[in-house]
Amino acid sequence: KQEVTQIPAALSVPEGENLVLNCSFTDSAIYNLQWFRQDPGKGLTSLLLIQSSQREQTSGRLNASLDKSSGRSTLYIAASQPGDSATYLCAEQGGSEKLVFGKGTKLTVNP
């Protein structure tokens, strides 16, 4: 059974700090891994998608890495801002084509 775990469940940092969110998965036949942002009561916004053949993707202040051998992905946020406050979800897509989500990390960036 595919499982995705995100650590920590919640994180609070001061504005300007660089931070790393962690995601681990059990599926060895991963197709891709995706990071999402979810604001309270809202839907999902896709941030970055890493194909299984890739090691990282970057978009602005965000950088996501993928290490299939260890079953881990990280989302690095540089120079965090209060507007980055949200829940960040990672989701793994394996051979079954289904997305399996972690529970998310709730990030609070304090001004």
Closer CB to other proteins, 91 or 109, in the complex:
91
Question: How far is the C-alpha of 40 from the C-alpha of 106, rounded, in Å?
Answer: 10
Where are any strands of DSSP class E within 15-85?
A: 19-25, 32-38, 44-51, 56-59, 62-67, 72-77
| # binding residues, other proteins (CB under 8 A) | 20
Only one of the segments 20-28, 33-41, 61-69, 76-84 lies at the binding site for other proteins (rule: CB under 8 A); that segment is: 33-41
Q: Distance between CA 111 and CA 27 in Å, rounded?
A: 38
107 near other proteins, rule: CB under 8 A = no
Is 4 near other proteins (CB under 8 A)?
A: yes
Give the contacts of 80 (CB within 8 A, at least 6 positions apart). 13, 15, 16, 17, 18, 19, 107, 109
Distance CA 62, CA 2 (A): 26
Which residue, 68 or 106, has its beta carbon nearer to other proteins? Answer: 106
One residue of 51, 59, 81, 110 binding other proteins per CB under 8 A: 51
71 binds other proteins (CB under 8 A): no
Residue 99 has which token pair?
């997305």
Please tell me whether residue 36 binds other proteins under the rule CB under 8 A.
yes
Q: Is 46 in the site for other proteins (CB under 8 A)?
A: yes
Which residues contribute to the site for other proteins (CB under 8 A)?
A: 4, 34, 36, 41-46, 49, 51, 89, 91, 98-104
